[in-house]
Amino acid sequence: MGIMRNVEARLSSIVKSWLLRSDFAAARRMHRRRLRGYKREDDAISAEYKKQIKDYWWRFHCRVPTRWHEHYSSRNGLCDVRYIPEELYYTVIDRHFNDRKYYLGVTDKNYLSRWFPQAKQAMTIVRKIDGLLYDADYHLTGFDDAIKSCLEHETVVIKPSINTFGGKNIHFWARKDGRGELERAIKGGDDLIAQETLVQHEHLSRIHPSSVNTVRVMTLLFDQEVHILSSVLRMGVDGSRVDNASAGGITCGIRSDGRLKDVAYARNGTRYDRHPQGFRFSEGMIPSFDKVIGLLTRLQEQMARFRLISWDVVIGADAEPILLEGNFRCGGPCVHQLNNGPLFGDLTDRVLSEVFLRRQRSTGLPS
């Protein structure tokens, strides 16, 4: 029996290693294509910087591409060997800290109020879960009653509650659009959530009033402590209703005291010294930023199976933080590293040692 268990364990290790290498290769191809779209003629780093990058990462038995270091440093002017290449982040680091077996059980926006009842959230009007309609308190309801509840509001935001990325398929309904449009939106999928339209704080509305501009914070539960890794403000541009970088929005780094940094970036690295609609970023301030950090620290502390989370928070008209969602996998390092430098900062050596040096012994990570 002992021999069989050893054989099974060895086979499992081989299979895991093969799957990981295949996943890494696919991610490498995908991100290489994306970076080609970002490439500029003046993108270049010195031979000495390349050597420093390779020497640093070899300490963790990793051979990494230097193109991400080139992308970040050529845009923000910060040369640092500790930038995290995206293919490593998505295929290894994110999977190390976030248990994907449990992902779908916590990512459904219809259950966010159950997971985090202590956090202020947008008022829910109707839930649609696996094709069944519920009211805000999870009581089954009929289609006509669901529509009637929505019609009591001037505006409603209807969005998919699972598998949502980049602000896609969000429907902004106003009473002037009529009942028919509302009915089509509610019928539009099996998993939806209809909520009140949030009113953001006037400070953030001045930047771009058409979109609700959200604070994104990445947290890490590491060595029995919650660490705030990076914070950025996501902003819409040119009248867009959404602020997602993948939908054309821009992001600006947030200092520890809540002040915005001087410049912002688009997803491809294009730099903005001012918002396209004229706002000067250096004059921006996130109201109640200390409350945002306090809230997310408490929420991250309880999520032991998801130790690396990207949170989205709206600052309400009363300056109170409103939890929009948590990204429990693939939160993405790009906007953070463009604005604020290497994702893990001074924790990088310790994080990489845990992720690579410990796991390599049993899984055989790609190099």
Q: Does residue 296 form part of some domain?
A: yes
The residue whose two tokens read 């999870």 is 138
Q: Is 126 helix (H, G, I), strand (E, B) or coil?
A: strand
Q: What is the pLDDT of residue 28?
A: 63
Sequence-ordered list of residues with C-beta below 8 angstroms from that of 180, at least 6 positions apart, any chain? none
CATH number, residue 187: 3.30.1490
Q: What is the pLDDT of residue 103?
A: 85
271 and 211 fall within a common domain: yes
Q: What is the pLDDT of residue 365?
A: 45
pLDDT tens digits for range 202-214? 999 999 999 999 9
210 and 273 fall within a common domain: yes
160 and 229 fall within a common domain: no
Q: For residue 105, what pLDDT band results from cuts at 50, 70 and 90?
A: confident
For the chain, the average pLDDT equals: 89
CATH number, residue 208: 3.30.470.20
134 and 240 fall within a common domain: no
Residue 211 and residue 235 in contact, taking contact as beta carbons nearer than 8 Å? yes
Q: Does residue 258 form part of some domain?
A: yes
Q: What is the pLDDT of residue 21?
A: 58
Residues 112-131 have a mean pLDDT of 96
Q: Does residue 257 form part of some domain?
A: yes
The residue whose two tokens read 């893990």 is 344
229 and 105 fall within a common domain: yes
146 and 238 fall within a common domain: no
> In which domain, by residue range, is 129 found?
124-196
Q: Does residue 349 form part of some domain?
A: no
Q: CA-CA distance, 121 to 204, in Å (whole number)?
A: 18
Cα dihedral angle (48, 51, 52, 55), rounded to 10 degrees?
-160
- Ranking 75-84, 95-104, 131-140 by mean pLDDT, the lowest is 95-104
Beta strands in 181-307 (DSSP E): 192-196, 214-222, 225-235, 250-254, 260-266, 271-272
pLDDT tens digits for range 234-290? 999 999 988 777 678 999 999 999 999 999 999 889 999 999 999 999 999 999 999
17 and 93 fall within a common domain: yes
Q: Does residue 308 form part of some domain?
A: yes
pTM: 0.88
Does the pLDDT of residue 102 top 90, yes or no?
no
Q: Does residue 346 form part of some domain?
A: no
pLDDT tens digits for range 153-204? 999 999 999 876 666 788 999 999 999 999 999 998 899 999 999 999 999 9
Residue 285 and residue 292 in contact, taking contact as beta carbons nearer than 8 Å? no
pLDDT tens digits for range 17-75? 555 555 666 666 665 666 565 767 677 899 999 999 999 999 999 999 899 999 999 99
Q: Does residue 250 form part of some domain?
A: yes
310 and 260 fall within a common domain: yes
Q: For residue 367, what pLDDT band results from cuts at 50, 70 and 90?
A: very low
Residues 122-132 have a mean pLDDT of 97
Q: Is 133 helix (H, G, I), strand (E, B) or coil?
A: strand
pLDDT tens digits for range 290-336? 999 999 999 999 999 999 999 999 999 999 999 999 999 888 899 99
Q: CA-CA distance, 112 to 195, in Å (whole number)?
A: 13
Q: For residue 363, what pLDDT band results from cuts at 50, 70 and 90?
A: very low
Q: Does residue 353 form part of some domain?
A: no
132 and 230 fall within a common domain: no
236 and 286 fall within a common domain: yes
- Sign for the CA dihedral angle at 37, 310, 235, 287 comes to negative
175 and 209 fall within a common domain: no
Q: For residue 148, what pLDDT band results from cuts at 50, 70 and 90?
A: very high
Tell me how many domains the chain contains.
Answer: 3
CA distance between the termini of the chain: 34
- Bigger pLDDT: 10 vs 280: 280
Q: What is the pLDDT of residue 242?
A: 84
182 and 212 fall within a common domain: no
